[in-house]
Chain A
């Protein structure tokens, strides 16, 4: 309760405590000893009472935030009014920095704009911009070198790294907006959110765009990511050697690749969307050298390759919607003991590209939109096994050049020949009990962007339609 009051209130309370001393004195039986103890006690309370220092461009005790930080005591609040502050900040004591009316901390264009070196700091409601441009020096909008901080409702722009967590644990990073330097080539930007050796953080509701990678996570376990939106950058999620992380309700869209998870164990993905990540070797979600991962209720839609599995072991994919990808699953024979059950595979151009001779991946009770069997006993599962890939797709896995014959009558003829003449042997991979109805789902994000009619195409179409009809009409007349 003492944390938030202003300067005047503080002095008032200070005098009150002394008058209390004066009041106690006559009642005191044990003389000065107790009196001193009491006085010390009250002084301690006074010291613990946080002060609020106001910073504003004009008419305030401080014109510089750093000056206020230097003056402040641990636990104080620094209230910053709207305006632009041209300075780099270093928070070396536990403080609460609160921005009113989105004050702008404009860095000096070198080093990190804001560095936090003390635990338990809060930064709330700022615009942070213009940090240095040196990837090696971790030049970031916000560089966290301490733990248990709260970073909320800030906007970071014109920054190399957005928020960089360097050996920093137990932080809450919430509702921040991070936009990288779009003018830089993607390789020379930093990650929007960079976690290095930083376990147990909670990262919620942030928006990251135009950085190199959305979230780069290395050697950081036990983090939780929820409701973040990562768009228009290289890898939405880039990930090494970090176990036991949870990703829920995040959106990764329009990136070169959605999520690349490498060398980690027990990663959980729930209700995330990996959408429209396209490029020659793009994927919605990639697992490499991982164990015991779970992906449930995710939406993997419109990617060049939906799910890419290399040396993924003992992992489960359940109730995901894997739709409209060029290739739904690319699986290397190094992937071992994985299972797909109850997923919706809808309208993918190719369901599976298997690289290598075989896979022990299991498919159980998935819905396949191209299933051609029947369900005579009406138990909800088809009576005929669904072949996961046809002979052309089987060949394509190991001879990628054949993909040039995608959608060709020859490829379709091969597939037909395979089903008509059993002598042609493709792959034996199948889903023994495919579902006949898709699993119901609700898409959590706003659906595909509302499409406005393409006026130009509409006009061209109508013009050619009219001219063609005119020609016919004229031709019919004698």
Chain B
């Protein structure tokens, strides 16, 4: 694999996306939302202002869980199923399909990074001014989790693009996927947990986390931001199951990495066999 080719394609993808007004609109909306949440969260922090950081970060997390997967999927699908002419030109260049695919993924991630970091930077600054205590330094970890989530869904969009090829079909699948991971999956697990006995149910629920990158982000971020106590007894059981806070976080990050790498490799395999 030619690294030069990959970076060239990544840079090109980044430039295209940054000039795309959708990215800018997303960046603007996201920044405003993050700023609003962190500002009003910290200003009106509860009755006395002990725990403003926890409340604010919980709201930020909600925002991330809904918006980041959606935007990553849409941006990814738009790019990976680009218009006939553009992709034909690209594929005619003396670079392999794998290089093109990786370059596009990196470029997309770069533009997601750019778009979200404006918001996270502004939010982080407000929190830094208002929060204090040890909690504030955990914020960068939360940003890291959000970026991993973005990568997962970009990688998934590559897979969907390779599977569907046509833009319309890809968008249908993308919408379903977003609904599935953000909402249905959890409802299914919550329902499913009543089928098992206490102990099995606990293990089922812990294992099921790894089936959904959105859940991994949520649990990981809540542990990082608010401490493991937030889940009460369930949190204690989770820590016992995984073996400590650091191990839990590492396992969740590892799980996310698998969710990034696997769909992407799969999409490359599919792409290689395709007639473009």
Contacts and interface: CB of A to CB of B under 8 A. Distances in A.
Contact of A323 (B48, B137, B219): B48
A327 interface: yes
B124 A464 contact: yes
Contacts of A323: 46-48, 50
Contacts of A466: 121
A448 interface: yes
Contacts of B235: 280, 403-404
Interface in A33-88: none
A468 interface: yes
A279 B232 CA distance: 8
Contact of A457 (B128, B182, B193, B215): B128
B236 interface: yes
Contacts of B65: 408-409
A404 B47 contact: no
B71 interface: no
Which of A282, A326, A413, A462 has the most C-beta atoms of chain B within 10 angstroms of its own C-beta?
A: A326
Nearest to A467: B117
Interface in A384-411: 395, 399-411
Interface in B203-252: 205-206, 209, 214-215, 218-219, 222, 227-238
A324 B133 contact: no
B117 A404 contact: no
B18 interface: yes
A248 B139 CA distance: 38
B231 to A, nearest CB: 5
B234 A401 contact: yes
B261 to A, nearest CB: 25
Nearest to B115: A468
Nearest to A392: B190
Contacts of A321: 47-48
B117 A403 contact: no
A327 B193 contact: no
Interface residues of A, number: 64
Interface in A346-365: 346-347, 349
Contacts of A462: 121, 125
Contacts of B215: 408
A468 B125 CA distance: 14
Contacts of A344: 47
B120 A410 contact: no
Contacts of A205: none
A402 B129 contact: no
A448 B182 CA distance: 36
B139 A472 contact: no
Nearest to B117: A468
A327 B230 CA distance: 9
Contacts of A251: none
Interface string A437-459: 01000010001110111111110
Question: Of B54, B139, B186, which is in contact with the most chain A CB atoms at under 10 Å from its CB?
Answer: B186
B188 to A, nearest CB: 9
A276 interface: yes
A449 B230 CA distance: 22
A452 B236 CA distance: 32
A349 B230 contact: yes
Contact of B187 (A278, A401, A410): A410
A305 B132 CA distance: 23
Contacts of B232: 280-281, 304-305, 326-327, 400, 403
Nearest to B138: A457
B39 interface: no
Contacts of A469: 118
A27 interface: no
Contacts of A15: none
Contact of B190 (A410, A475, A476): A410
B33 to A, nearest CB: 16
A448 B50 contact: yes
B24 interface: yes
B190 A402 contact: yes
A465 B186 contact: no
Interface string A280-292: 1110000000000
B239 to A, nearest CB: 8
A460 interface: yes
Given A403-B233, A469-B118, A409 B66 contact: yes
B254 interface: no
B77 to A, nearest CB: 21
A302 interface: yes
B125 A461 contact: yes
Given A324-B51, A410-B183, A457-B137, A403 B131 contact: no
Given A324-B55, A408-B65, A413-B187, 7 more contacts: A281-B232, A326-B229, A405-B186, A409-B186, A454-B136, A457-B136, A471-B18
25 contacts: A281-B232, A323-B46, A323-B47, A347-B47, A399-B193, A400-B233, A400-B234, A401-B202, A401-B237, A403-B235, A404-B205, A404-B206, A405-B189, A406-B222, A407-B62, A409-B65, A410-B185, A410-B190, A451-B130, A454-B131, A455-B128, A457-B127, A462-B121, A464-B117, A464-B124
Interface of B: 14-15, 18-19, 24, 27, 46-51, 54-55, 58, 61-62, 65-66, 110, 113-115, 117-118, 120-125, 127-133, 136-137, 139-140, 143, 182-183, 185-187, 189-190, 193-194, 201-202, 205-206, 209, 214-215, 218-219, 222, 227-238
